[in-house]
Structure formats: C-alpha cells, structure tokens
Structure 1
Amino acid sequence: MNCGKLALVATPIGNLGDITLRALEALRQADVIAAEDTRRTVKLLNHYGIKNKLVSFHEYSKEARFEEIIGFLTGGKNVALVSDAGTPVISDPGYELVRRCIAKGIEVESIPGACAAITAVTLSGMDCSRFMFWGFLNQKQAARRRELEEIREKGVPCVVYESPNRILKLLADMCDVCGEDTPVCVCRELTKLHEESLRMTAKEAWAALGRREAIKGEFAVVFYPPAASGESLSEEQIAREVEQRIKNGMTKKSAAAAVAAEYGLPKNKVYGIALESGKRG
C-alpha cells in the first residue's frame, strides 16, 4: 500500500511571520490540510497564497471525519494537520489521529515551530531547566483547585493556558492553593501587537488584572509554587536571587516575595536582605 504522509505543522501563535520555510513547504505540498478552525487557518493560507483543499478537524469531529482523513492517507494523499495556533497535538485533539496513523503504519512527520508554552517559559525569568506543561486547567473550581494542589506538590515551575474570562478565577485559586506570594509570569497576546508579560506575585497579578475595565486576549501563565522543602540560603545567595529577578523585570518587592515563596523563607527577611544589599551596592 502506497500511503501518503501525515505532517504535523506548527503555525504562528499570533504573528503571521512566525512560520518556518519548512512549514510553508509542507502546507504547499499537502493534498489536504486538516484544520482545527478553517476560518482561522484560511487567513494564514491566504497570506502566503496557499490554495490547497481545506477540511475541518477538531475535538467534536465525528468518526466519519477520522475515516475520511485516514482514507486520504491510505489513498496516497499527503495530509497536513494544523491547530488554531502553535504546535498541533498540544492541547488539541490531534493525538487521536496520530495514534490511528501509527497503528496503520502511516508515516507521521512533525514540523516544529511556534509554541505558546515554550515562548512563555523563556519570558518568565524563572529557572525552567525542569518544568511542567499542564495545558488548560479544569473549568470547575473544585477540580481546578485539586489540579493546583497536585502541581504544587511537584515543586517545579508549571505553565498553563487560560482564557480572558477565567484568568482572574485562576489567579484567585492560585493565591489560595499555592500562596499569594507565588511568583508568576502572566503572558497575554504572545507575539501580537499588544503582547505583555506581568512578572510579579499571584496576588499582584490578580490585583493588576482586576483593575482593568476589560480583560482581552489569550493567556499563558508560568508559575512556581513555593518549595515544600524550605531550602535554606545564605544572605549572599538570597541577595543574588533577588537581584537576578530584578534584572528579569520584577520590582524589588516582587522579587523578594518570589524568592521567599520559592525557598520557603519569611518575606520580610528576604526583603530586608535585599534592601541592605542595595545600600551596599
């Protein structure tokens, strides 16, 4: 059987310029492009003059759509799978199609590119040599809080996605479950014209966004729940930790709070050390 190939093609998360030459080549060579939202994907395709056959494929797709796409592939056609934005299969239903292709011996190729989670992590200023990606937390508060408790126990930074209508609820729950001083980097509208990153504590971020008349845009949030071990640092190490966060864009107060939360130290003690270090520096 001469099967086609399924290409998982990463697309821009906002800025249309953030697409690779290889991704454009794959989209042009595809006989069929399966898109999470054809209305959004057609804007990208029109921008680059690509007119290939476009079909919808999303979490509500029926069995007939799976069979149709598998039929294209087994019939020798190449299919490109794209999500609304970013890398397919990450927080979207593409994994099931990939699983079925693997089971049938159909070649699957992943073409890397933009990913909101990685972009947010690099902007956070946190030590993310190890981190978790959790996608979207549960919409129901009780379940969301249980997830936050589980994340807190892992002791590493975590990145989640959230919508504008639930971001305040997320930050409020984060304050209650992980602590008000939990350091966060709240990224909004990544790569777009009005992109912003708020590097502060969970409580400060909740207050800052809560003062706005309207909250717009999609969010990627990186947060680092306090370490359960209460790791101790020397005053010199504490001062360096605070200074590093200040260089990454935090205020002295926020930086001190973040260090206190991360290492299980009294916030007033860390802030006092930061003030003394500033006088000496």
Structure 2
Amino acid sequence: MQNNTAINVEHLSKAFNNQKVVDDVSFTVTKGEVFGLLGPNGAGKTTILRMITTLLKPTTGNITIFGHDIKKESKLARSTFGVTGQYAAVDEDITAKENLLIFSRLNGLTKKESQARTDELLKEFSLEASANKSIKEFSGGMRRRLDLAISLITRPEIIFLDEPTTGLDPRTRTQMWDTIRNLVNHGSTIFLTTQYLEEADNLADRVAVIDHGKLIRIGTPDELKKETGESRVSLKVIKNNDILLAAKILQNALNSKPQILNNTITMKFKMTEQIIDGLSQLNTAKINVSNLTIQEPSLDDVFMALTIGKN
C-alpha cells in the first residue's frame, strides 16, 4: 500500500496559543487521485495544507510525502510537489513569458531549458497569444492559469490547489476544471481545497470533510451522498380532492413530512425502494399524478448535514 500512497497524514494536530485548530486528523492520498478537503471557513483546511506543504510545523503528528518524512527530509518532500494558491503569485509589471522564464531559472533550469519549458507551458495553458502581454492586462482566469503553469515548471508529482477557482466566473471555472482533469490524465496527484461543493463533486475521487479542526467524514462523493444526503421527490396531484390522501400515503411510505404547495407535494427520502412503494400505493388508490421529478442528494446536502448545528 505504501508504494501507492502519495501523502500519509497521521494524528496531525496544530495549536496556536493552546487552542487547537487542527485536532488529530489522519488520512492518506493515493497516487493519481484528486483528493478534496472541504470544511466551513475557519475549519482548519488552510492550516492542514500549510503543514503538509512544510510551511507550518505541526504541533503533533507525522506527514510523509512519497515516503519522505517532512520533518527529516523536507527538501526531498518539497521537490515532489507544487503549490497554487488563491491569488496569482506573479510579477504584474512584466509579461507572462518573462514570469515563466524567471521562475524556470529560479527552479534550476538552464537558459535553454527555461525557454523550452516556458514555450511548452504557454501552449499547454492556452496563453501563447497573451505571452507578451503585461500581467496587468490579464483576466482573473488567465492569471490563475499562469499561476498554475508556474507551479508546474518542475513537473511535480503532486499539485496542491488551494481554492483555485475562487472569484472566477462560471465559464472560466469550468475551463480550470478541464485543465485540472487534463493534469490528472497525465498522471498528476491533486490535493484540492475548495469552497465550491460542486467543484469537489465534479473533480474529486474522494473528499474529506473537516469541522472545527476535526475530520468528520471521508469517502467518495457518491458514498457521502448515499450515507448522509437525502433525495427529494416532487409530484403534482391531478385532483384537488386527492391531495391529502396522497400526502398521507407518501408520508407513511417515505417516512418524512410532506410539503404541499398548491397541488404539488415535495418530500425527502433515503431509499429508492421507498419512492417505488409510495408510487405503487398511489396507483392502487387510483390517485393520478404528473410532473414527477426526483433530485439526487448533492454535496451541499452532505456538507450541511455534517456541519450544520456544529458551528
């Protein structure tokens, strides 16, 4: 298993002024996966990220990256990853190409290697047409792509993305998602923190939910949605006289409280068998319905279920 483990976090804790902001967190990240770290603001996401990337020392616990203990082999550990934050860490007074050339040289590439790598990254991130523009002329999405390109100069095995699409419009966010998927297709391991649950649902193979510094749940998005979230059914009752009976039948079958608006009944349910049973009973009672829709649970539902009432 160790050979397939990119990151191993064991009993990680961090305290500031005797107040724990990360409390006994453990998880592993597998090579080639997208691992999402979710939690409310102040839950400890950024603190965990900073400890894993060696920017902050843990109070207790151990972290290894590809088997390198970050306490004993921090330089080797750092050589395996790149970090992209929420804001583009670039020099706005020079061009995109100049930024890439400078960072390439700072990362130890020769002049010839820097030129070649810069050209590759400009093409890969669709920045060739803007290569000689000042960063001040860049849109938010272009700045974010450039920042991600800079973090990939040394072709790191792991890429840490700290809320990479914060502040981007939906179209640019979708473009960034495509870029991230492309990185994974080429073998990268992605560690993602995000405030957009839809983003984690679309990108992450597994997600860890933390709250008040504690690990609340970990699993695939589908596993968490099945375990914690609830589906919703909505249907319209054709005859007004049937509404109350229909609501009673569904309440017994779905074991949840119906919401009635005009002729439409909306309810939550856990299992598919429940809605099949409810619809069968409506048919037996000769209650006609239309506009039947079923909405699967989302990570938003999971997030609310796991963190609401704990803050």
Q: TM-score range by the shorter chain?
A: under 0.3
Indicate the structure (1 or 2) with the bigger Cα radius of gyration: 2
Higher share in strand = 2
If asked which structure has higher relative contact order (CA below 8 Å, sep 6+), I would say 2
TM-score (norm 1): 0.27
